[in-house]
């Protein structure tokens, strides 16, 4: 009896201890934290750069050193309670400020190498990763150690399909993978490029992109079949498409977003899916604390109960990581040398001031004239005239190519000063055939009628899509009603019927503020300057809306190839950013021996004027009512006669 009793007692004791252990550990065993960023856009340093001072508290935000410092602190806190941490980026790690130029130099991949050191688990491909084309992106990944580096930081491209013979296909880009956390939770992860981002991919080359929803469905099914407990989609799609994805693939537990630059101070909950996004430019680090409820097969957000903000500001209160700060300083030194070469020694330190202003030159996300649009197009117009030796009638730039405001310093040591870095942040996108940073200016001729069409295209596409497609002008002025861009939408399908009557009037500047009307039918040629990206887009409009077609011509009116329209200065492609720098340096010198931004750029100049009129649909409806009234009157008269 004693022999039976002792083992039985040991069994009961062990069972009690096991249950006690479960009761103690279970609440934390499936808890984990997601840290996330998106749309970093090569912002290695804090911005505005002119305000940043390493030894003094200031108003700047962002920078990889602060990012690394904040992540290190959170990780240390979570390690004390044995809570796993995962780190994701929602894409667009490239493009924008001058640091975004470094991938054009062989062997340079600063953003991705820094992400490796910081400890990112996965990064989704964004549309700006293709700004320099897929070949440069492939070289960028090679410089960062791929495909071997996939074991450190996964590059996600669930619906990105490079051809089998292209280098990108052999660099370890994954459609999905499973990460098993120390607590035993199996996390299925994939990452999408959304439809809007695909449409805004400047230079995808031969790379194809599959339907995001269908790709997500396939990835989710495969991950669940492989034993994933939860699903995380790291997207470069924007909030609207993220919500749609959650509705179409409800098995997704968490969507880490990007592309729309939306700071979600609280998650969006769509069904059981938690959607987060951390703004842009490393202004914030996203923090999402979760618990997996296995019985309910869903995640529960713990931030509110833990009193943890969903977005943590990366400001000067954040202790930077010293090792990452040293790495960034090394990249800055390389950039300084290259900028000195690109500017013929005009700029030798990207964070030093090149001009001064008592106001910021601002843009916006609305379909209206902006001060920064005026400034940039004026600079393009003047630079092209000087380079070609010919009068330029108008300059054109799209809102989507204007990436930032031009912001003077506000600190005691920087007040009113503008650095090269902050000046060029607005216009630094792209590259030319020369392999050097920045989209080149192009110069060509179109008819007056085609200029009117371009204006209609600007209003129409910005109405159908977004502010990205709205054009800013120098040399013309326009009155328009944005509500007249679409005549009617077809019932049930919602298909828009363009009106081609949104532009109420258009005038060409002749000289000294005098204007003449631009005709809808005139074949007179006008000299236009824009950047190569915008020029490549304009003729494609005719494929979608034939009556708004635009054909690039030479000064004799003959069709011209886009590659033959690039503007050169001293034998080199003239870039948009160079035009802006030259224009800025040409301003009158102020008392601080710096060029001063003219006061005219403190406000807009009614180049683009909104005029609200009666909706176009009113007129046909009124006509129908008038005809109906005549018919009724006619019938009544006939009845009276009878």
Number of H-type helices and E-type strands within the chain: 16, 29
Q: How far apart are CA 622 and CA 109, in angstroms?
A: 62
CA distance 301 to 311: 14
Q: What is the dihedral of CA 478, 479, 483, 485, to 10 degrees?
A: -40
- Alpha-carbon span 506 to 457, nearest angstrom: 14
Burial 183-201 (b: 16+ CB within 10 A, else e): eebebbbbbbbbbbbbebb
pLDDT of 487: 62
The whole-number pLDDT of residue 524 equals: 96
Strand runs labelled E in 456-566 = 471-474, 476-480, 486-489, 496-498, 503-511, 514-517, 525-531
pLDDT of residue 494: 58
DSSP per position, 38-77: ---TT--S-BSGGG--TTS--S-B--HHHHHHHHHHHHHH
State the number of CA atoms in the 13 A half-sphere of 607 facing the CB. 29
d(CA 363, CA 426): 10
Homologous superfamily assigned to 29-318:
Metallo-dependent phosphatases (3.60.21.10)
Rg (alpha carbons) of the chain, rounded to whole number: 29
Q: Is 494 left (phi over 0), alpha (psi -120 to 50) or beta?
A: left
- Residue 274 has phi, psi (to 5 degrees) of -100, 120
- CATH 3.60.21.10 in the chain is located at 29-318
Those residues whose C-beta lies under 8 Å from the C-beta of residue 399, and which sit 6 or more positions away, are: 363, 365, 367, 370, 373, 462, 467, 468, 469, 470, 471, 472
Predicted local confidence at residue 469, as pLDDT: 83
Specify whether the backbone of 454 is left (phi greater than 0), alpha (psi in -120 to 50) or beta.
alpha
The pLDDT value given to residue 486: 72
Distance, CA of 331 to CA of 266 (rounded, Å): 35
Mean pLDDT per 10-residue segment, the chain (642 residues): 43 39 49 98 96 88 98 97 97 94 95 98 98 97 98 97 96 98 96 96 95 98 98 98 98 98 98 98 98 94 97 96 97 98 96 96 87 98 97 94 93 95 94 94 96 88 80 95 73 62 91 88 96 82 71 95 95 97 97 95 94 67 58 67 61
Half-sphere CA count of 39, side-chain side, radius 13 A: 20
Residue 518: what pLDDT? 94
DSSP β-bridge partners for residue 191? 234
Pairing of strands 311-313, 353-356: unpaired
Per-residue model confidence (pLDDT) at position 25:
45
In sequence order, the β-bridge partners of residue 396 are 473
CATH number of 352-608: 3.90.780.10
Crossing angle for the helix pair 110-118 and 322-342, to the nearest 10 degrees: 180
* Numbered ranges of CATH 3.90.780.10 in the chain: 352-608
Question: Rounded to an integer, what distance in angstroms lies between the CA atom of residue 159 and that of residue 144?
Answer: 22
For residue 320, the number of C-alpha atoms closer than 13 Å in the C-beta half-sphere is 26
Q: Would you state the pLDDT for residue 628?
A: 60
Per-residue confidence (pLDDT) for residue 18, from 0 to 100? 38
Which helix or strand (DSSP H or E) is residue 78 part of? Answer: helix 64-80
Contacts of 507 (CB under 8 A, 6+ apart): 476, 477, 478, 515, 516, 517, 518
Burial class, 36, CB count within 10 angstroms (exposed 0-12 / middle 13-18 / buried 19+)? buried
């Amino acid at each position: 009896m004693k022999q039976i009793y002792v083992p039985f007692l040991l069994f009961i004791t062990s069972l009690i201890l096991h249950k006690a252990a479960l009761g103690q550990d279970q609440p934390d065993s499936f808890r984990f934290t997601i840290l996330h960023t998106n749309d970093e856009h090569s912002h290695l340093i804090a911005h505005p750069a002119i305000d940043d001072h390493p030894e003094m508290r200031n108003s700047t935000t962002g920078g990889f050193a602060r990012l690394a410092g904040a992540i290190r602190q959170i990780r240390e806190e979570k390690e004390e309670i044995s809570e796993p941490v995962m780190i994701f980026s929602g894409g667009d790690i490239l493009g924008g400020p001058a640091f975004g130029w470094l991938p054009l130099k062989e062997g340079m991949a600063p953003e991705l190498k820094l992400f490796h050191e910081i400890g990112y688990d996965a990064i989704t491909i964004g549309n700006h990763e293709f700004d320099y084309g897929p070949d440069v992106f492939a070289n960028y990944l090679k410089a960062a150690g791929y495909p071997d580096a996939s074991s450190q930081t996964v590059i996600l491209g669930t619906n990105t399909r490079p051809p089998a013979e292209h280098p990108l296909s052999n660099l370890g880009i994954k459609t999905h993978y499973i990460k098993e956390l120390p607590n035993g939770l199996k996390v299925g992860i994939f990452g999408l490029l959304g439809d809007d981002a695909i449409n805004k991919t400047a230079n995808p080359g031969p790379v194809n992109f599959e339907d995001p929803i269908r790709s997500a469905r396939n990835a989710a099914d495969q991950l669940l079949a492989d034993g994933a407990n939860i699903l995380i989609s790291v997207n470069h799609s924007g909030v609207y498409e993220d919500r749609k994805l959650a509705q179409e693939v409800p098995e997704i537990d968490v969507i880490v977003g990007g592309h729309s630059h939306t700071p979600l101070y609280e998650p969006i909950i769509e069904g059981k899916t938690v959607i987060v996004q951390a703004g842009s430019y490393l202004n914030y680090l996203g923090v999402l604390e979760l618990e997996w409820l296995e019985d309910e097969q869903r995640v529960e957000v713990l931030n509110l109960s833990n009193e943890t903000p969903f977005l943590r500001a990366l400001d000067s209160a954040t202790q930077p990581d010293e090792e990452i700060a040293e790495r960034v300083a090394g990249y800055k030194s390389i950039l300084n040398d290259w900028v000195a070469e690109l500017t013929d020694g005009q700029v030798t330190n990207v964070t030093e001031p090149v001009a001064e202003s008592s106001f910021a030159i601002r843009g916006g996300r609305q379909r209206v004239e902006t001060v920064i649009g005026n400034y940039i197009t004026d600079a393009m117009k003047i630079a092209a005239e000087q380079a070609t030796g010919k009068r330029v009638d108008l300059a054109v730039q799209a809102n989507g190519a204007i990436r930032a405001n031009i912001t003077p310093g506000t600190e005691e040591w920087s007040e009113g000063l503008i650095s090269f870095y902050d000046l060029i942040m607005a216009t630094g996108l792209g590259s030319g055939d020369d392999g050097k940073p920045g989209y080149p200016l192009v110069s060509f001729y179109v008819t007056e009628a085609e200029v009117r069409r371009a204006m209609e295209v600007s209003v129409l596409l910005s109405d159908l899509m977004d502010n990205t497609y709205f054009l800013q002008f120098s040399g013309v002025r326009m009155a328009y009603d944005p509500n007249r861009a679409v005549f009617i939408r077809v019932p049930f399908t919602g298909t828009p019927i363009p009106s081609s009557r949104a532009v109420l009037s258009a005038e060409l500047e002749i000289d000294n503020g005098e204007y003449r009307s631009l005709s809808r039918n005139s074949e007179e040629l006008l000299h236009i300057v824009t950047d190569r990206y915008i020029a490549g887009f304009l003729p494609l409009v005719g494929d979608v809306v034939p009556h708004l077609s635009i054909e690039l011509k030479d000064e004799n009116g003959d069709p011209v190839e886009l590659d033959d329209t690039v503007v050169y200065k001293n034998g080199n492609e003239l870039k948009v950013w160079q035009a802006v720098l030259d224009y800025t340096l040409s301003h009158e010198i102020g008392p601080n021996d710096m060029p001063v931004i003219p006061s005219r750029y403190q406000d807009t100049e009614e180049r683009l004027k909104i005029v609200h009129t009666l909706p176009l649909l009113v007129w046909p409806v009124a006509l129908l009512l008038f005809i109906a009234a005549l018919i009724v009157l006619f019938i009544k008269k006939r009845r009276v006669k009878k």
